[in-house]
Structure 1
């Protein structure tokens, strides 16, 4: 099986996923371009089945998140960290569907052909709203002021790339 890094790289460069260039993908993953080129070449040789897009879609669609599960995940995280939580499901859903607050990008991913991504390898994740029957892409939730809790005024949408940058520069 391909490693997680190889799969992340593949998803970033595949035109039906994120569609980034190899240079952009290497930057996002924090690896050198030559290393990225070697990983792609090795993966094509050793795991040709990994480049089967239909297989990826089938596997990834099994990993679609539910808005209720997203809400409960954030809520339980807030309880564990003893952070005040004042968001409703509707407010959370509205926030996480916005473009990234930091870079303003939608990250080239559209809902029509994008299967769900895993949490730690995603630029955007896909969720399913059981009430409306609609799939939607979403970013992570970010608090402006970490001393305050989760409320509609203090929270914005943030993409995976900006979360990574924020952690590296913190």
Structure 2
């Protein structure tokens, strides 16, 4: 089944230097997803390698506070890549901040702490590949010697997020909205 037959485009929700982001519905089950449509024809080799690394990293991350990556589709004829990801219907943190500013309001302390906790646990998963220690555990008592996780004696790749900002991957759940 071709991509056109498999997905219904609902709306354009954003754009960047190499493509657009659309809200789509998978026809087989009605699931709403986000599709990043990236044209790589004008990308340098280094940019293509970074793109490949990005979807490789996204495909390996699974955490409730990290936007889920589902699959990619390579359209050779148009030299486009379509990345299918979790759709965050309540928007991102950037939208919430703009909305609060427009209404001349501030976020509640509870909301700020909730976002901070979600961000820290997601970053910990990126950096160490595991969930953070339970609250109250003396993980600082290790003398700062937290070691990266290993699998079969090999050190796991640690991911350092290079572009932290409210618009990137900090999705808002309905329960969190201030």
TM surpasses 0.5: no
Q: Which structure shows the bigger proportion of residues in helix conformation?
A: 1
Q: Which structure shows the bigger proportion of residues in strand conformation?
A: 2
Q: State the TM-score, normalizing by the size of structure 2.
A: 0.29
Higher RCO (Cα < 8 Å, 6 or more apart): 1
The higher radius of gyration belongs to 2
Q: State the TM-score, normalizing by the size of structure 1.
A: 0.29
